Amino acid sequence: MNSIEQRICSCIDAHASELTAFAHDIYIHAETGYAEHRTARQVADWLKNRCGLAPETGLAQTGVRASLGNSRPSVCLIGELDGIRCPEHPFAVPETGMSHACGHHMQLAALAGAALALSDPLVAEQLDGSAVFFAVPCEEHVPMNRLNQLRQEGIASCCGGKPELLLRGAFDDIDAAVTTHAHMVPCDKDFLLGSNSTSGFLSKLIHIKGRASHTAIAPEKGVNALDVVTLARSAIGMLRSTLRDAHCVRIGEVVRMGNSAINVVPHEVTVDLQVRAKTWEALLDADKKIDRAYRAAAYAFGAEITITDDMGYLPTIPAHPCQALSEAAALLFDQATSEPVSFAVHNAASTDVGDLSHRMPVVNFTFSGFSGTLHGADFRITNEEKAYLLPAKLAALTMYRLLRDNAAQAQQLIAAYQPPMSAEAYREYAKKFESGFVGEPSPFTSR
């Protein structure tokens, strides 16, 4: 570890109590996506008053971005602002049920610590290119009913913050991204280096309209919309044998009924549905089968049906740890254990980092310091050093190694990456969904 790297770590250690307090404050004040106003203010105040930077605010409503340097290559460190609805969590906000059982406050601690260390004048003068600190809104996607309202109000077009920022061009001057998260797959080490594959998903809103009638006097005159759902779900259950296990297809749905008396045939039902898969091709295949099952069930009962597809997240492109990340983790060997990702392990969850990985190289690591289940009421911080301080050190050391020596490692990383989508191709893909899309959307048609 050279003198600059020692200075980075010493800076974070010297401000450990402030960083822990910053993280805890965000932990107990979780907010929903695109409405993280308090959290965004806390981040902006830290970047301005503690780091001496000039943050931009209000990006995709609540995003906060500050830069060290103004030249290329530009490498950004990302933190996510929003929480997750989990009212059973002990630190959930009583009025909203929002909590940070997602661990996003841990990312913001890493961003805050790394920004503090890298903005030290002696460290900053060693960096070439730009180090960007970007707190982004809404990683926990917005369901279709709320997204439609946000679109009508002109607040957002996309169900996730990174897609929204990509659509708006906020990443057009970024060449590579460093992302972090609490461990999402089983890992006994303090750090898991690199990106596992994650599933992509599409959202669907299925509206079924039958016909009301008295359930005792004239049930034969009714068309039961709930029975349509039951038949479709049975068909989908049988279709599961046509889905390859390797594609990790998952289907989640919530059935919503309008106000209806018990003695009236249920005549109107809405199904909010997500379909996930490891690859885009498998996702579209499963999506077609779901459509056929619901349309056939509606036909069988003589019900009307409308199916609207909407944007989800793209599958994450897996990546081994880059040289800078591996070297930075090795510098912390006496404080933290680490191992690289295995491409044999797939994360069946989804993240909008997947969309980012289609535009630029992503340097990712996950970390420990907690117990319980992500998004669960039992999620707890168990080790503040591992949850807040060590991720800040690893993020800062990785950014430093990418950008030192004429940003040689960043240049190498960027040159070796072939993004599947251009900025314009991604915008064309995202815009297809702005008013709902019925059909077979593909992000690769405009390449």
pLDDT values of the chain reduced to their tens digit, one per residue, 447 residues? 999 999 999 999 999 999 999 999 999 999 999 999 999 999 999 999 999 999 999 999 999 999 999 999 999 999 999 999 999 999 999 999 999 999 999 999 999 999 999 999 999 999 999 999 999 999 999 988 889 899 999 999 999 999 999 999 999 999 999 999 999 999 999 999 999 999 999 999 999 999 999 999 999 999 999 999 999 999 999 999 999 999 999 999 999 987 778 999 999 999 999 999 999 999 999 999 999 999 999 999 999 999 999 989 999 999 999 999 999 999 999 999 999 999 999 999 999 999 999 999 999 999 999 999 999 999 999 999 999 999 999 999 999 999 999 999 999 999 999 999 999 999 999 988 876 554 444 443 332
Beta strand pairing status for 346-347 and 197-198?
parallel
Return d(Cα 383, Cα 291) in angstroms, integer: 46
- Tokens 């815009």 sit at which residue? 431
Return d(Cα 78, Cα 75) in angstroms, integer: 10
3-state secondary structure of 101: coil
Q: Which residues of 152-184 are buried (b: 16+ CB within 10 A; e: fewer)?
A: eeeebbbbbbbbbbbbbebbeebbbbbbbbbbb
3-state secondary structure of 309: strand
Q: Maximum distance among all alpha carbons in the chain?
A: 85
> Which residue type sits at 389?
L
3-state secondary structure of 425: helix
CB hemisphere CA count around 340 (13 angstroms): 15
Return d(Cα 115, Cα 427) in angstroms, integer: 30
End-to-end CA separation in angstroms for the chain: 43
Strand order in the sheet with 304-310: 250-257, 268-277, 200-209, 304-310
